[in-house]
Structure 1
């Protein structure tokens, strides 16, 4: 009996330690800053401009503003796209997307969250919400208020974009590879961990879009091994104003075609045209 009690106590202690580690370290798994501070904007995208964002809690964040490119395909749409990044990389990683959108006549704002791209601070759900507000403020200062802006959220950024849309209704909402909620994602990838009890951040995407009357497009990569395609389909089904659900056959989460391919860029253009 004594030995059994000792074993039970050891097991309980190990479980407490593991749960404590999961609680303390979870954000290092969710948020994965990569690439460090990007070079000046003009070195990466011709004509791009470095911008500084200022958050409500006093942080200064790096961003790039890209104007429409002079191409044969499109003229200035007088509409901006605010890009809310996924959980990895930095704004330099999204340069191909910005170029493609600018070639379609959009102005584009790329920015890095706190803790990303050489920015100060540590990422969290509340922190990313403040960062997105600062990005929207910067666009408004340039004449692009929410009604003239498409919020483009990729993966985790879909949650950031949907939250911002709930606060400041945009012209349209574009969600690429969204999950239904962070708890659903965690339960999918870690089925034996009590994720719902431990999570410090929620990111309830499906719940948010169900309450939004904003014209919305959802892109689903049907071979996505990071965000289950069924969760992206569920977000589309939950949308109160779904304009289009775009399925990319064979598309993976981080495939170039999924991130900035012609089907994705064309879908942004269709959504913006619909919202006019």
Structure 2
């Protein structure tokens, strides 16, 4: 079946489903497709996180996992998971970060993790803001709040940074805009845009874009475009041999190393060893 035939069949299928349930609703269901079934508790390699709950501005209670800061370090990293993922699985991936001493807060979204509600762009941003408020209060006056997002979570992180004050933003395998990443022709029917490349105009925080060179789900060109577009202090790491799934054996040291360098004023001097490429640039007004 060639590309044109596939597109015609896809459009016909969408049209039939739209007549029954509404095209926007169906398109969102296909876009976000939260995992079905209970959230499985990961195997913890160290201290277990606390189970916490936040309440959004529109009254939804959302579950999360939280490792409080240790060793006198008040900073907190807010973690936003990707499409077809959940907070439990992400907490299992990300737990290496808690070994650093900074607090780690893993968020969930409406419609995910057995939470009430249906996912949408505005809804997920509202959810991230609720977890941000928790992190900001927990960090206190002396602590910094950073955000890390994987895939769709990276788009949420950029939108959060356009609305709230953060100390740094880190993304992994995220897209520059949904229209570029969505399946052929499907972007016509998706009511959410997730235009990260546009949102960067409102982001002043330092940015770290991470991508696997072998990611064929969201191609590395998306992170390259985001890196070239931003006017913030920014870095781009392309890791050889890595695909779309988060590999925190490689990524956790990169995240903590970048945050350490940022806090010590040495971020422009950082580099990474091994099979990876690294680029950095100053903020536009510092160039």
TM-score tier (shorter): 0.7 to 0.9
Taking structure 1 as the reference length, the TM-score comes to 0.81
SS at match of 1:268: helix
How far apart in 2 are the matches of 1:180 and 1:230? Answer: 9
Counterpart for residue 212 of structure 1: 203
**What 5-or-longer segments of structure 2 have no aligned partner?**
1-8, 264-287
1:120 and 2:116 correspond: yes
Q: CA deviation at 1:200?
A: 0.5
> 2:126 maps to what in 1?
130
- Check 1:223–1:144 CA distance in 2 against 1; reply closer, same or farther (3 A cut): farther
Instruction: Single out whichever of 266-275 and 165-174 deviates more from structure 2.
Output: 266-275
Q: Summarize the Cα distance change of 1:23–1:181 in structure 2 as closer, same or farther, 3 Å threshold.
A: same
Instruction: Pick one of 241, 262, 265 that aligns with 1:275.
Output: 262
Bigger Rg, which one:
1
Structure 1 residue 23: deviation in Å? 3.6
The answer for the alignment partner of 1:105 in structure 2 is 101
> Is contact 2:69-2:75 (8 Å) kept?
no
CA distance in 1, matches of 2:162, 2:143: 13
Question: What is aligned with 1:51?
Answer: 52
Q: TM-score, normalised to structure 2's length?
A: 0.78
Give the whole-Å Cα distance in 1 for the aligned partners of 2:217 and 2:67: 29
More helix by share: 1
Partners of 1:112 and 1:144 in 2: how far apart? 22
Deviations 1:46-91 (A, max 9, x none): 341111110011100101111357xxxxx55321110011011211
Structure 1 residue runs without a partner (length 5+): 1-10, 70-74
Aligned-pair distance for 1:156? 0.5
Cα distance between partner residues in 2 of 1:259 and 1:176: 10
C-alpha separation in 1, matches of 2:107 and 2:53:
9
Residue-by-residue CA offset, 1:27-56 (whole Å, 9 max, x unaligned): 122112226443679978634111111001
Residues 114 and 131 in structure 1, CA contact (< 8 A), matched pair in contact too: yes
How many positions carry a matched residue from both structures? 251
Kept in 2, the 8 Å contact 1:225–1:253? The answer is yes
Instruction: Report the 3-state secondary structure (helix = DSSP H, G, I; strand = E; otherwise coil) of the residue aligned with 1:161.
Output: helix
Q: State the 1:241 CA deviation.
A: 1.8
Give the corresponding residue for 2:67: 66
